[in-house]
Amino acid sequence: MFSVLRFSTIKNLRNVRTFASSTSNHFDIIIAGGGLVGTSLACALSKNKILSERNVLLLEGAPPFKGFECGEYGNRVSALNNNTVDFFKNIGVWEKISAARFKPVKQMQVWDASSNASITFNHDNFSENVAYIIENDLVLDSVYKELESAKNVQIKNLAKIEDVDLEGLATKSVKLKGGEEFTCDLLIGADGVNSLVRKQMKVDTYTHNYNEMGLVATLELDGNACDNSVAWQRFLPTGPVALLPLNENKSSLVWSTTPEMAKKLQSLPADEFVDELNKAFVKEYPKNEFVSNALRVLDTIMNSDSQSSRQYPPKVRSVVERSRACFPLGFMHSSSYVRSGVALVGDAAHRIHPLAGQGVNLGFGDVKCLVEVLADGVYGGATLSDKLVLLKYEKDRLVHNVPLMLGIHGIQSLYSSSFSPLVLLRSLGLQITQNAPPLKNLFMKKAMG
């Protein structure tokens, strides 16, 4: 199905401005990495009126994508925000996703197992849904299908980049395993958290290992979960456990916990795993009397009832066979996203904890911004490698990404502590926000994009 996109069958590049005059191994833009972010970047470049005649090569180390079918739900899903959905609409991808399947989230409930402080976000507070739960493979499939009509993009699979030379003034070059070499005016690293492009840029990175794994799985819910449109997240002392709705009776799990516990949960017999999971949402943890009293006082002052207003998630009945998988979780931020003729997007530039479901949303935001900035620059007469143009991209994204990433990192740190003053601080913060609609709306608007 995707053979038309493979490099071995180079398409007729009628629309490529520089291809005929350049050597066959030179491209205007090379994208290193064809994950969610790299492929959507190729698609966005093909849709932009100013850039759609620039020849683009997408290099992906993995074999060609096998496609997507609406059978059993995949275990890798993302909570995508409204900005991402708008971006997908603009690059022609949303139509394909919505024709297949997605689940709008109408409410989100988050609560703290150490104090029972909770917060609920409703879509009624906003005109739009809180988020959309979509399988990663469906996004990839939809982007690949849209790329089939992109005249300026070539995709080469099984193209593992082994070396990157960024020292050339006019061109950057990449060398694949096997020896093949390509050059370009602009090299974009979309090659994930261990980005080779970033390493060759020799930029500083701030990294933090959470010493947590994210256990994912597809779950079947008990009986009547109604329309199952609530996303649930409970902060346990070992990390947050979250249920993301997929349809009326299925949800996706993201359970962040210690590596030892994640491995144990992954290997438990299915029925024991389901028992542990159901317990994780209802189990009572030791409460600090001082924190509980403070919350009761706050309830009285704010005329609220935090304990009875909280609902509980639907009971999980079973876990889909072979759907359990573990992923390491960490924080990484590159001190710089660009240098002359080079830019980073997505996890190659930044990586965050999945507790707020923002990682790939930030990546799609990078793509949208980079394409707009490049198009403006080229329209104004700049080259694709112009550092001043690329610096504008970096500045715009740092202003957006850094506060959000620090906020999520802060929440992760705050919730991984059982130190009473911190439990008090976070519980009061959650409870005050819950009872202060303007504050709650502000947080929600930030998270919704």
Ligand X SMILES: Cc1cc2nc3c(=O)[nH]c(=O)nc-3n(C[C@H](O)[C@H](O)[C@H](O)COP(=O)(O)OP(=O)(O)OC[C@H]3O[C@@H](n4cnc5c(N)ncnc54)[C@H](O)[C@@H]3O)c2cc1C
- In the bound complex, which residue of the shown chain has the CB atom lying closest to ligand X? 35
Instruction: State which residue, 56 or 291, has the beta carbon closest to ligand X.
Output: 56
Nearer to ligand X, 239 or 354 (CB): 354
Q: Which of 127, 187, 157 is nearest to 338 (CA)?
A: 187
CA torsion angle 213 218 223 229 (round to 10) = 80
Residue 314 engages ligand X in binding (rule: CB under 6 A)? no
Q: Does 241 bind ligand X (CB under 6 A)?
A: no
**Quick check: 189 binds ligand X (CB under 6 A)?**
no
Selection from 218, 293, 280 nearest residue 250 by Cα: 218
| Alpha-carbon Rg for the chain in angstroms | 23
Minimum CB distance to ligand X smaller for 214 or for 377 = 214
Nearer to ligand X, 103 or 386 (CB): 103
For the CB of residue 42, give the shortest distance to ligand X in the complex, in Å.
Answer: 11
- Asked if residues 262 and 215 have their Cβ atoms less than 8 Å apart, the reply is yes
DSSP-H helix ranges across 118-177: 136-147
Among positions 249-278, residues that touch ligand X (CB under 6 A) are: 254
CB of 255 to ligand X, least distance (A): 9
Stretch that binds ligand X, among 12-20, 36-44, 303-311, 336-344 (CB under 6 A): 36-44
Among the residue ranges 89-97, 99-107, 189-197, 221-229, the one whose residues contact ligand X (CB under 6 A): 189-197
Say which residue the tokens 């982007």 belong to: 143
358 binds ligand X (CB under 6 A): yes
Please provide residue 381's backbone torsions phi and psi, each rounded to the nearest 5 degrees.
Answer: 100, 5
Regarding 366 and contact with ligand X (CB under 6 A), the answer is no
Shortest distance in whole angstroms from residue 261 CB to ligand X: 15
Closest CA to 319 of 380, 375, 278, 369: 278
The reply on whether position 449 binds ligand X by CB under 6 A is no
Residue 27 — φ and ψ, nearest 5°?
Answer: -125, 155
Is residue 405 near ligand X by the rule CB under 6 A? no
Contact status: 363 vs ligand X (CB under 6 A) = yes
* Residue 62 phi, psi (nearest 5): -80, 165
Residues 191-230 touching ligand X, rule: CB under 6 A, are: 191-192, 196, 214, 216
| Residue in this structure with the two tokens 């990078």, named with its chain if needed | 366
Strands 205-221 and 161-165 come out as unpaired
Distance CA 64, CA 51 (A): 25
347 binds ligand X (CB under 6 A): yes
State the minimum distance, in angstroms, from the CB of residue 343 to ligand X: 13
Question: Which residue, 412, 393, 220, 383, is CA-closest to 315?
Answer: 220
**Contact present, 79 and 133 (Cβ < 8 Å):** yes
- Residue 403 burial by Cβ neighbours in a 10 Å radius (0-12, 13-18, 19+): exposed
CB of 363 to ligand X, least distance (A): 5
Cα–Cα distance, 233 to 271 (Å, whole number): 22
Query: Which regions of 263-315 does DSSP assign to beta strands (E)?
Result: none
Q: Which of these segments, 203-211, 274-282, 304-312, 357-365, binds ligand X (CB under 6 A)?
A: 357-365
* 240 near ligand X, judged by CB under 6 A: no
Q: Which of 160, 175, 199, 264 forms a contact with ligand X (CB under 6 A)?
A: 160
Which one, 118 or 252, has the nearer CB to ligand X?
Answer: 252
The letter for the amino acid at 431 is: Q
Q: Please say which residue, 339 or 351, places its beta carbon nearer to ligand X.
A: 351
Point out which residues bind ligand X (CB under 6 A).
32-38, 59-62, 78-79, 159-161, 190-192, 196, 214, 216, 254, 327, 346-347, 354, 357-361, 363
